[in-house]
Amino acid sequence: MSDQKNAGAAVKAALLANVGVACAKFAAAAFTGSSSMFSESVHSVADCANELVLMLGDKASDHKSRGDHPFGLHRVKYLASFIVATLLFFVGGVFAVSQAAGKLGGLIEGTVPREAESLELIAALVVVGVSACLEGYGLHTSVHEARERMKRVKVEDSSLVGFWRRTKSAELASVMMEDTLALIGLAFAGLGIGLSIITGDELYDAIGGMLVGLVLVCGSAALAFKSGSLLVGESLDPSTRAQVVKAVESTSGVDRLINMQAIHMDEDSVLLCLKVETSKLDRDFDVQTVDKIETNIRGALPWYEWEIYVEPDIWRAQH
């Protein structure tokens, strides 16, 4: 479980870094009046809230159930990730867009001065550069954890996008999305501020701020889809499923695997239900065969915590 400990440390480190980045961005936004920088400030606050909710969800998921949740509280992690996506990211994105749209409207109507203060915007651009370095380091950490995770669960896939789509870790999916959105948002903010410095027109800064908010909204939709899928319940990935099938069918005493249903309770806990046909219709033989099946599955995939239910049955061809 070492990667889980590392993931928790990474979330805490990201929270501390984002608190500092948010303070710097708000100071720069107040000093410069930059719409892009204000949108980025809102983005960083959303990131901080994101990490706090994920930490609370992770802590709550470790609590033992008193019986009202028979399979434990593992899925609180998924609920926390869904809250992050639907409320914090989306609300932050909509707020940033509305602020940028207000400034953009004022610039077009002439109620807000269009002349840009170059020295002030240069200060904002420096903050963008420093923030990009910190967020880049955070993304590097997330990618490192993703690759460690792939090695740990024996998933062969060099595509990080493929990993993000298949991972059952709500924290890792959220942090990877957060860091990616942060870098994209900073690129738009830097572009808007840079063009305002070059042209002397605040219009580009306002457009940059709106693009940052739109990035946050689109990212929240993608994360909501992912965390919502995890919350509803995702099955094993194809390679893991194939290993389970092989472990069951290779068990002595098993004639046929009739049906298999599996669902991730969290990234490391799996609920597995099997229906198998055994070689004998004998109670003692079936009990021994079921024990062998469970032993084979746990031996083949020891990195998961298994809750296994096996029902011996007779296979009937479907007509």
Q: Is residue 319 part of a domain?
A: no
- Are 143 and 216 in a shared domain? yes
Q: pTM of the predicted model, to two decimals? A: 0.77
263-280 per-position pLDDT tens digit: 998 888 899 999 999 888
Is the residue at 317 inside a domain? no
pLDDT at 1: 41
Continuous segment of H or E residues that includes residue 259: strand 254-264
Residues 77/59, Cβ–Cβ less than 8 Å: no
Whether residues 221 and 291 fall in one domain? no
**pLDDT number for residue 19:** 79
Same-domain check for residues 116 and 186: yes
- The three-state secondary structure class of 237 is coil
Q: Are residues 176 and 202 in the same domain?
A: yes
Domain presence at residue 74? yes
* One domain for residues 121 and 227: yes
Give the contacts of 228 (CB within 8 A, at least 6 positions apart). Answer: 82, 85
What total number of domains does the chain contain? 2
CA atoms lying within 13 Å on the CB side of residue 46: 36
Q: What is the CATH number of the domain that holds 300?
A: 3.30.70.1350
Which pLDDT belongs to residue 5?
45
The answer on 159 and 122 residing in a single domain is yes
Domain closes at, from 209, 232, 255: 232
Do 42 and 80 belong to one domain? yes
Assess whether 32 and 143 both reside in one domain. yes
Last residue of a domain, one of 176, 207, 232: 232
Would 42 be classed as within a structural domain?
A: yes
pLDDT tens for each residue of 6-35:
445 556 666 777 777 788 878 877 877 777
Residues 242, 217: one domain? no
CA dihedral 158, 162, 166, 172 (to 10 degrees): 80
Q: Is 9 a domain residue?
A: yes
Q: 25 with 37: CB under 8 angstroms?
A: yes
* Whether 166 and 110 share a structural domain: yes
Residue 318 included in any domain:
no
What local confidence, expressed as pLDDT, does residue 94 receive?
A: 82
- pLDDT at res. 245: 95
For residue 123, the domain's CATH number is: 1.20.1510.10
Domain boundary among 205, 232, 259: 232
pLDDT in tens, the chain (319 residues): 434 444 455 566 667 777 777 888 788 778 777 777 777 787 777 778 777 877 777 777 776 766 677 677 778 888 888 887 776 667 777 877 887 888 888 878 777 666 667 777 788 888 888 888 887 877 887 777 777 777 776 666 556 777 777 888 877 788 888 888 888 988 998 898 888 888 888 888 888 888 988 888 888 888 888 888 888 888 888 888 999 999 999 999 999 999 999 999 888 889 999 999 988 878 888 899 999 999 999 999 998 999 999 999 888 766 4
Question: Tell me, what's the pLDDT at 67?
Answer: 65
Does 85 fall in a domain?
Answer: yes
Range of 60's domain? 2-232
Residue 276 pairs in a beta bridge with: 257, 312
pLDDT in tens, 298-311: 999 998 999 999 99
Same domain, 9 and 150: yes
Cβ-proximal residues to 295 (8 Å cutoff; 6+ apart), any chain: none
Residues 76 and 197 in one domain: yes
